[in-house]
Amino acid sequence: KAGVTQTPRYLIKTRGQQVTLSCSPISGHRSVSWYQQTPGQGLQFLFEYFSETQRNKGNFPGRFSGRQFSNSRSEMNVSTLELGDSALYLCASSRTADHTGELFFGEGSRLTVL
């Protein structure tokens, strides 16, 4: 059974650019969540999608957005990149949409903003 796949794994951007990250969940999983991981702030919740609807959103500026497609694949976009956006972006999928389910994480997309 294939795991959560994130692309690209590594990317370098400059300030002011935008970036789109992709996540393919485990087959049959309809919930996709995104987390940002940095040395200073740790793991922070960005948003969660279930059946193409954003259910929950973390405390991030509007430059961070996402969407989910009918096949449950998800993308997140960051516009007008800032140096502080450099981070590992982790995607996680879950079969359920309640709080009792476990999350399966991808290996992440490491974004460096210069």
Dihedral, CA atoms, 31, 21, 36, 11, nearest 10 degrees?
150
Kindly indicate which of the ranges 14-22, 28-36, 59-67, 77-85 contains the residues binding other proteins, using the contact rule CB under 8 A: 28-36
Give the residue with the Cβ less far from other proteins, 17 or 46.
Answer: 46
Cα distance between residue 65 and residue 81, in whole Å: 13
Short-list 92, 103, 111, CA closest to 13: 111
Q: How many CA atoms lie within 13 A of 52 on its CB side?
A: 3
**Which residues, 72 to 91, sit near other proteins by CB under 8 A?**
90
Interface with other proteins, residue 12, by CB under 8 A? no
Kindly indicate which of the ranges 11-19, 40-48, 63-71, 77-85 contains the residues binding other proteins, using the contact rule CB under 8 A: 40-48
Binding other proteins (rule: CB under 8 A), the pick from 26, 50, 76, 81 is 50
